[in-house]
Amino acid sequence: MSPSENDAGVSIAATAEATDVAERGAERVRSRGSQLADRIAAAKAEDRAALIAYLPVGYPDVDTSIAAMVAAVEGGADAIEIGVPYSDPGIDGPVIQEAVDVAVRAGVGMADVLRAVTAVAEAGAVPVVMSYWNPIERYGVARFAADLAAAGGAGAITPDLIPDEAAEWLTASEEHGLDRVFLVAPSSTDARLRSTTAACRGFVYAASTMGVTGTRATVGDAAERLVARTREVADGLPVCVGLGVSNGSQAAEVAAFADGVIVGSAYVREMLEGRGADGVRALSKELAKGVRS
Amino acid sequence: MTTTSPPTQPGERLLPARPGWPDETGHFGVFGGRFVPEALIAALDELTDAYEAMRVDPAFLAEFHRLQRDYTGRPSPVTEVPKFAEHCGGARVLLKREDLNHTGSHKINNVLGQALLTKRIGKSRVIAETGAGQHGVATATAAALMGLSCTVYMGEEDTRRQALNVARMRLLGAEVIPVTTGSRTLKDAINEAFRDWVTNVETTNYVFGTVAGPHPFPAMVRDFQRVIGDEAREQVLEREGRRPDAVLACVGGGSNAIGIFTAFVPDDGVRLVGLEAGGDGVDSGRHAATITGGTPGVLHGARSYLLQDDNGQTIESHSISAGLDYPGVGPEHSYLHDIGRAEYRAVTDAEAMEAFALLCRTEGIIPAIESAHALAGAMTLGRELGPDALLLVNLSGRGDKDVETASQWFGLGDREEVDPGPGLDTDQQPTEGAVSNDEAVAGPDAGEEL
Does the distance separating the beta carbons of B187 and A101 come in below 8 Å?
Answer: no
* CA A240 – CA B247 distance, rounded (Å): 53
Q: Is the pLDDT of residue B333 over 90?
A: yes
Predicted TM-score (pTM) of the model is 0.89
Q: H/E element holding A82?
A: strand A79-83
pLDDT of residue B414: 52
Minimal-distance CA residue of chain A relative to B199: A211
Among partner residues A87, A164, A187, which is closest to B25 by beta-carbon distance?
Answer: A164
Residue B232 lies in a domain: yes
Residue B17 lies in a domain: no
Minimal-distance CA residue of chain B relative to A113: B311
Minimal-distance CA residue of chain B relative to A97: B181
Confidence of residue B10 (pLDDT cuts 50, 70, 90): very low
For A122-171, the pLDDT digits (tens) are 999 999 999 999 999 999 999 999 999 999 999 999 999 999 999 999 99
For residues B210 and B254, membership in a common domain is answered with no
Among partner residues A9, A85, A210, which is closest to B44 by beta-carbon distance?
Answer: A9
Which of A208-212, B26-30, B51-55, B112-116 has the weakest average pLDDT?
A: A208-212
Residue A19 lies in a domain: no
Confidence of residue B422 (pLDDT cuts 50, 70, 90): very low
* Residue A92 falls in the annotated catalytic set: yes
Confidence of residue A234 (pLDDT cuts 50, 70, 90): very high
Does the distance separating the beta carbons of B313 and A135 come in below 8 Å?
Answer: yes
Instruction: Give the pLDDT mean for B66-90.
Output: 97
pLDDT of residue B40: 94
Q: Is the pLDDT of residue B426 over 80?
A: no
For residues B52 and B199, membership in a common domain is answered with yes
Instruction: Give the pLDDT mean for B380-396.
Output: 97
Computed over every residue of chain B, the mean pLDDT equals: 89
Residue B21 lies in a domain: no
Confidence of residue B70 (pLDDT cuts 50, 70, 90): very high
Q: Please report, for the domain that includes residue A211, its CATH number.
A: 3.20.20.70
What is the 8-class DSSP label of residue B328?
Answer: B
Please state the domain count of chain B: 2
Does the distance separating the beta carbons of A97 and B36 come in below 8 Å?
Answer: no
Q: How far is B149 from chain A (nearest CA, A)?
A: 20
Q: Is the pLDDT of residue A1 over 50?
A: no
Instruction: Give the pLDDT mean for B151-165.
Output: 91
Residue B377 lies in a domain: yes
B161's CB contacts (< 8 A; 6+ apart) are B132, B322, B405, B420, B421
Q: Which of A81, A112, A253, A259 is catalytic?
A: A81
pLDDT of residue B420: 46
One-letter amino acid at B54 equals M
pLDDT of residue B4: 46
Confidence of residue A293 (pLDDT cuts 50, 70, 90): confident
Confidence of residue A251 (pLDDT cuts 50, 70, 90): very high
Residue B11 lies in a domain: no
Please state the domain count of chain A: 1
pLDDT of residue A274: 97
Q: Is the pLDDT of residue A19 over 80?
A: no
One-letter amino acid at B311 equals N
Does the distance separating the beta carbons of B34 and A182 come in below 8 Å?
Answer: no
Confidence of residue B184 (pLDDT cuts 50, 70, 90): confident
Q: Is the pLDDT of residue B445 over 80?
A: no
Instruction: Give the pLDDT mean for A24-47.
Output: 77
Confidence of residue B448 (pLDDT cuts 50, 70, 90): very low
For residues B194 and B173, membership in a common domain is answered with yes
* CA A137 – CA A168 distance, rounded (Å): 10
Confidence of residue A32 (pLDDT cuts 50, 70, 90): low
> Do residues B251 and B344 lie in contact, with contact meaning Cβ atoms separated by under 8 Å?
yes
* CA B273 – CA B342 distance, rounded (Å): 6
Does the distance separating the beta carbons of A135 and B42 come in below 8 Å?
Answer: no
Residue A151 lies in a domain: yes
A218's CB contacts (< 8 A; 6+ apart) are A244, A250
Instruction: Give the pLDDT mean for A20-47.
Output: 74
pLDDT of residue A21: 55
Q: Please report, for the domain that includes residue B174, its CATH number.
A: 3.40.50.1100
pLDDT of residue B13: 57
pLDDT of residue B424: 38
pLDDT of residue B15: 72
B382's CB contacts (< 8 A; 6+ apart) are B85, B88, B89, B90, B91, B93, B389, B391
Does the distance separating the beta carbons of A5 and B45 come in below 8 Å?
Answer: yes
Q: Which of A17, A78, A92, A112 is catalytic?
A: A92
Q: Is the pLDDT of residue A17 over 90?
A: no
Q: How far is A270 from chain B (nearest CA, A)?
A: 21
pLDDT of residue A217: 73
Complex confidence, ipTM: 0.89
* CA A258 – CA A225 distance, rounded (Å): 11
What's the domain range around B43?
Answer: 27-73+106-217
Confidence of residue A210 (pLDDT cuts 50, 70, 90): confident
Helices within B287-348 (DSSP H only): 290-293, 331-338
Active site residue ranges of B: 107, 129, 396
For A97-126, the pLDDT digits (tens) are 999 999 999 999 999 999 999 999 999 999
Confidence of residue B230 (pLDDT cuts 50, 70, 90): very high
Among partner residues B195, B216, B311, which is closest to A212 by beta-carbon distance?
Answer: B195
Q: Following CA atoms B442, B445, B447, B450 in sequence, which dihedral angle do they give, to the nearest 10 degrees?
A: 30
* CA B212 – CA B64 distance, rounded (Å): 22
Residue among A91, A101, A158, A169 with most chain B CBs within 10 A, to mutate: A91
Instruction: Give the pLDDT mean for B195-204.
Output: 92
Q: What residues in B contact A188, CB-CB < 8 Å?
A: 38-39, 41-42
Q: What residues in B contact A104, CB-CB < 8 Å?
A: 313
Among partner residues A8, A134, A164, which is closest to B48 by beta-carbon distance?
Answer: A8
Which of B11-20, B230-239, B421-430 has the weakest average pLDDT?
A: B421-430
Residue B303 lies in a domain: yes
Q: Is the pLDDT of residue B95 over 60?
A: yes
Residue among B186, B200, B311 with most chain A CBs within 10 A, to mutate: B311
What is the 8-class DSSP label of residue B288?
Answer: B
For residues B402 and B253, membership in a common domain is answered with yes
Q: Is the pLDDT of residue B164 over 50?
A: yes
> Do residues B39 and B301 lie in contact, with contact meaning Cβ atoms separated by under 8 Å?
no
The most confident of the ranges B64-78, B150-164, B424-438 is B64-78
Residue among A6, A110, A134 with most chain B CBs within 10 A, to mutate: A134
Q: Comparing C-alpha atoms, which of B173, B171, B182, B216 is closest to residue B28? A: B216
Instruction: Give the pLDDT mean for B285-302.
Output: 97
State percent of chain B over pLDDT 90. Answer: 81
Instruction: Give the pLDDT mean for A256-283.
Output: 97
Confidence of residue B132 (pLDDT cuts 50, 70, 90): confident
Residue A168 lies in a domain: yes
What's the domain range around A282?
Answer: 34-291
Bigger pLDDT: A61 or B5? A61
Does the distance separating the beta carbons of A187 and B201 come in below 8 Å?
Answer: yes
Minimal-distance CA residue of chain B relative to A102: B182
For residues B84 and B158, membership in a common domain is answered with no
Q: Is the pLDDT of residue B330 over 70?
A: yes
For residues B66 and B187, membership in a common domain is answered with yes
pLDDT of residue A22: 53
One-letter amino acid at A69 equals M
Instruction: Give the pLDDT mean for A285-291.
Output: 98
Does the distance separating the beta carbons of A189 and B42 come in below 8 Å?
Answer: yes
Does the distance separating the beta carbons of A187 and B191 come in below 8 Å?
Answer: no
For residues B303 and B386, membership in a common domain is answered with yes
Q: CA angle, corner B432, sides to B430 and B437, nearest 5?
A: 70
Instruction: Give the pLDDT mean for B180-206.
Output: 91
Confidence of residue B3 (pLDDT cuts 50, 70, 90): very low
Q: What residues in B contact A162, CB-CB < 8 Å?
A: 34-36, 38, 41
Instruction: Give the pLDDT mean for B154-167.
Output: 90
Instruction: Give the pLDDT mean for B330-338.
Output: 98
> Chain B residues with CB-CB distance to A under 8 A?
24-26, 33-45, 48-49, 52, 181-182, 187-188, 191, 194-195, 198-199, 201-202, 215-216, 297-301, 308, 310-314
For residues B125 and B266, membership in a common domain is answered with no
Task: Give phi and psi for A289, each to the nearest 5.
Answer: -65, -40
Q: What residues in A contact B202, CB-CB < 8 Å?
A: 210
